[in-house]
Amino acid sequence: MSAATVSDLGLTIPVYDVGSLLNKNGNTIQLKQNLLFITPSLDNASSNDNKILRENLGIKTVINTRYPQRLRYYKDDAGAYKSESCTVENVLGVTSCHVHLRLGRAFAEGLLKEVPAVERYKLNLKASVSTNRNDPKLVDYAQRLLRPRSRVEDGLAVLVASTGIVGHIFKSVVAGPNAFPLLLYGDGTPGSSDSSLILFLLLLVLDVPGADVERVLDQIEQPLLSTNDTDKKEQRLDDHWARELKHRLEGKYCSVTGYFSAAGVTEATKQSIREALSPVAISEKSGVLVDLDPAETQ
């Protein structure tokens, strides 16, 4: 199937072929088409949409970064119950990965450090008398205490606090056999969906320039912004967020490779992802990089 026909499949939800978006405005083929897809949300997907995703696009892996409606718990070695930040299941031949990058203790502690002491005390008091720590009213109160953060600040906080989860996703899911075609989706929030962060990291592995990452995400997220001009100004995405976020990662970990190493993602893991997604192959005989013909990447 040609990537150009994705919009002609009769889907009622927006689904984007990242390879097609990347290669659209330039001559450099950066990513094979028909292998990496992203949609803002699957909340409104119809049964026919699901059928098209399975049969026409041949999706083999789905990574969902939405905050869970119902948490799953497990017992650690000490016998304490902890919420699962990442679950991977195989359902009818499709690998389903539910990733919750904002559930980790380190991420929560980082957020609370930004809240004034008096407000922290009030939050702890409300939490101590609540019978449900996931009570929407309690969650909403906690969120209103947090100062608005830029996309770069938020993304850096998430990536730093969830290195272990990121490593698990890349090693056990993305670099696994038959992982592609792969579909990413989140909660449909422009500029803050964690599915965009997973895509950001995948494109870093492929050495895609930050400007191209921003261009792709802008095409995906702009339709989600409010049609009201005032709201658009408030929701405006940071122009150079991907380049700045990469710069911040390099500053904290000395390099992008340093970040992936901290996450436990080895060069072998990254190479297997490149071999699956990159239109540039390594000749087994000579070890020389060979540009594939564009027709062979579709």
Q: What order of strands is seen across the sheet that includes strand 94-99?
A: 16-17, 36-39, 182-185, 61-64, 94-99, 86-91
Q: Looking at the predicted structure, is the pLDDT value of residue 297 above 50?
A: no
pTM of this prediction? 0.79
More confident: 51 or 82: 51
CATH of the domain at 181: 3.90.190
Answer whether residue 270 is part of any domain: yes
C-alpha to C-alpha distance for 223 and 278, rounded to whole angstroms? 28
**175 domain-assigned:** yes
Which residue, among 195, 213, 202, 206, has the nearest Cα to 170 in the 3D structure?
Answer: 202
Average pLDDT over residues 199-225: 89
Residue 219 falls inside a structural domain: yes
DSSP symbol at 224: G
CA atoms within 13 Å, Cβ hemisphere of 61: 23
Check residue 150 and give its pLDDT.
83
Is residue 131 a part of any domain in this protein?
A: no
Q: What is the pLDDT at residue 229?
A: 44
3-state helix, strand, coil in the chain (%, to 5): 50, 15, 40
Please count the other Cβ atoms lying within 10 Å of the Cβ belonging to residue 182: 23
Predicted confidence (pLDDT) per residue in 105-149, tens digit: 666 676 677 677 888 788 778 777 777 666 767 666 766 666 567
User: Domain residues for 216?
Assistant: 3-102+162-297
Does residue 80 or residue 99 have the better pLDDT?
99
**Higher-confidence residue: 23 or 80?**
23
- In single-letter form, the type of residue at position 80 comes to A
In a domain, 126, yes or no: no
pLDDT band at 292 (very low <50, low <70, confident <90, very high): very low
Residue 124 lies in a domain: no
Per DSSP bridges, beta strands 94-99 and 61-64 are parallel
Number of domains in the chain: 1
Residue at 178 is within a domain? yes
Q: What is the pLDDT of residue 75?
A: 59
Find the mean pLDDT for residues 211-217: 90
What is residue 48's predicted lDDT score, i.e. its pLDDT? 93
pLDDT for res 218 = 87
Q: What is the pLDDT of residue 15?
A: 93
Residue 143 counted as domain residue: no
Strand spans (E) along 48-118: 61-64, 73-75, 81-83, 86-91, 94-99
Whole-number pLDDT of residue 82: 56
SS3 call for 188: coil
8 A C-beta contact, residue 169 and residue 260:
no
Q: What pLDDT shows up at residue 235?
A: 42
Helix (H, G, I), strand (E, B) or coil at 106: helix
